[in-house]
Chain A
């Protein structure tokens, strides 16, 4: 009896029992099930939810790998900086090195493991309690979470946040497909409001910076947004910002790789190009408005908003988490707008509000996650108006005929 047959007989054995969803989740991970169609459409297209989620994960892998190397790179760069040496980044020279990888893997992989273990654990428990299959939503969430947190975040905090995010953000609404807010962002929002000292400042973005603070070996690394918010010029050039040799949350730094991921997602039709495109437009429009305000001289260098407001609009798109947020989180189909017309508005407003929050909240200049959460809440409203337009047309048609 082969492995496949063994698994099948096990499945039959578990059928109807409480642990069946847990077993099936593992089984369907290895094999697509032997389920066949009933009446109706006797054939089905090949895509299932696992494949969709898997595609998103594939698009995240380059970003994750970059994040691992960058963790090590930023660590050594900060040490050099503390000793007065300025590092020139070079991809093969001092970025893709074994030392960087060791530091990165040592810090990033535990985040990934904790995120998946805790999150999937919660999903399994709920599936068993409620007797439904384990849905795949967490596969992507579990990958997103380690990429949107600072590198040294204590693992217990992450675990608590994941439990909160999955239960309050998703399961109370009925699980995957029913949630209002993006679960990954719910987790980040929880961390942000519960442990703000771990989510901002100039000590959390570089490995060991918190532990070394106050010692003679103290190191630091401010994100570019933080620098701008403090009305200073960042020490990094545009090239570094675009390719990602900068401090920041694990996965957000390399705009270049995120663009590749976005192109892949749009090409595979897994992410909505409507949302991505209109979000970029929205961010650019808001950035241009602020640039215009500065050009008019309404805001001067003494203003605390000056730094971020005068940042060129296109630079807003390559610094901070906006590219990452637009690509991987605004496009979440469940919490986003569900109509095609609505997606244009949804995306545009995300981009628009991201930059607005960024500029007007210098204490914590990362606006994209708040903007997406805000628009998650308004997505049903947008859809409502889109659907109403269709309903109104139908009513008009009816009146025309009866008149």
Chain B
């Protein structure tokens, strides 16, 4: 039942500073940080006190709402610090690596012969479960729900996206193991969206349904692919897993070790030598940033994609799910008559004295300036041009803003994640924070409806 996914509505954002296709080893990080804010809605219950020691792969905390969901340490070391914020909420869990690289051994597991329950228990106990996200709500998967389908995007269409072929090179065995294991956890299928007409690392995987994807961004977003293959209905759950996290799951099954190694694209116009780095989940960004070189002291550092990622400080760490790191110029400056001059060097969805439509393949050096102030929604019909889902984006956003749960439910809130609204946020003339609005709406629904 493979079907191709072809989308027309969208926008490819081309930026300067694309990563060169070379993989370097980043220096080993001294400390590794896990931020519970990356693990949306998880309240951590610590299993160690500060000073406790553990191997890589040993559980260090679990989720307060579901004790079976364990989170493991990416490296062997000691628990250096638990930073807390307001109301003693844990904000950072800092682990100091001991450099010994000892691993907790969970033993190999053959996904072809193991049954569903064994696989599920393994994912939970060994800290792999948090890599599985669910829709609705875009949170770590509920352990009680069986997913209707599992979706994986094997194609990243975003700006400055890492080349998955490079990142996943030579990882076929790991991918196959993970896909086979996951296919046992669902009644439906494991759907993988791959670039159409390209021979990819996913091409001849077993136990999966491949879909050839074509079209502009957000065709590579898993949300787009779900919407085209089988949208989430009320009462249903689907899982999504990023391709890079599949490798970690697969490797664990094959070797019994938790090895959260990531090959990340370090890119953006503020990076001197943009390229790929082999690093580990939670590493200090300084480890690779120093080598890649930062052109501008004032650059915006983003862990993750430039459309959806999170701002980090120079002494910050790579986020839990992030496979990219981007540095772009801060735009905290005024521009004289910036609102009525003809503009050639910025991207625009319109042609209102803006000329990006003339050169669709030009690469732009965009900064973080909002190019205008926050306003009420005024212009209509423009989000639809970059929003391929069968949903009314403006109406759904408004329903979220007024917290109209019925309308949200009816208009497709179960199907979306904040990242699906990254492009509409990018082009928003009223400069509204779409992703934050959707996140808030999802959280409200999760709380009220469950």
Contacts and interface: CB of A to CB of B under 8 A. Distances in A.
B431 A44 contact: yes
B422 A177 contact: no
Contacts of A137: 378
A46 to B, nearest CB: 4
B311 interface: yes
Contact of A51 (B311, B353, B392, B394): B353
Interface string A27-66: 0101111111111111111111111101100100000000
A46 B336 contact: no
B112 interface: no
Nearest to B339: A50
B328 A43 contact: yes
B219 to A, nearest CB: 18
Contacts of A40: 307-308, 418, 422, 425, 433-436
A213 interface: no
B427 A45 contact: yes
Interface in A333-388: 333-334, 336, 338-340, 343, 383, 387
Interface string B320-337: 000000101011111111
Interface of B is mostly: loop
Contacts of A269: 349-352, 382
Given A42-B300, A43-B366, A43-B368, A52 B308 contact: no
Interface string B366-404: 111111111111111110100000111011000000000
A401 B233 CA distance: 9
A366 to B, nearest CB: 27
B426 A41 contact: yes
Interface in A186-214: none
Interface residues of A, number: 64
Interface stretch (B172-180, B253-261, B340-348): B340-348
Given A43-B366, A390-B392, A340 B429 contact: no
B371 A46 contact: yes
A270 B392 contact: no
Interface in A259-315: 267-270, 272, 274
Contacts of A393: 390
A171 interface: no
B233 A397 contact: yes
A112 interface: no
B375 A32 contact: no
A227 interface: no
B206 interface: no
Given A47-B349, A54-B339, A41 B410 contact: no
A334 B378 contact: yes
Given A32-B338, A133-B373, A387-B411, A272 B381 contact: yes
Contacts of A30: 336-337
B331 A36 contact: yes
Nearest to A137: B378
Contacts of A394: 231, 233, 410-412
A391 B412 CA distance: 8
B362 interface: no
B369 to A, nearest CB: 6
Contacts of A238: none
A125 to B, nearest CB: 18
Contacts of B236: 401
Interface in B221-256: 231, 233-236
A304 to B, nearest CB: 40
B425 A36 contact: no
Contact of A268 (B311, B350, B410): B350
B148 to A, nearest CB: 9
Nearest to B433: A40
A50 B331 contact: no
Contacts of A240: none
A172 B144 CA distance: 49
A41 B236 CA distance: 29
A48 B373 contact: yes
Max chain B C-beta neighbours (<10 A), residue from A267, A394, A395: A394
Contact of A387 (B235, B353, B395): B395
A136 interface: yes
Contacts of A44: 366, 369-372, 425-426, 428, 431
A51 B372 contact: yes
B234 A333 contact: no
B309 interface: yes
B272 interface: no
A37 B377 CA distance: 18
B373 A333 contact: no
A383 B374 CA distance: 25
B302 interface: yes
Nearest to A31: B334
19 contacts: A34-B331, A34-B332, A35-B373, A35-B374, A40-B307, A42-B300, A43-B368, A44-B426, A45-B427, A49-B375, A54-B352, A135-B376, A137-B378, A270-B379, A333-B381, A338-B394, A390-B390, A391-B410, A391-B411
Given A34-B331, A42-B328, A44-B426, 13 more contacts: A28-B339, A30-B336, A31-B337, A35-B372, A43-B307, A44-B372, A46-B347, A176-B375, A268-B353, A340-B381, A390-B390, A394-B233, A395-B410
7 closest A-B pairs by CB: A48-B372, A177-B376, A32-B338, A31-B334, A50-B339, A46-B346, A40-B435
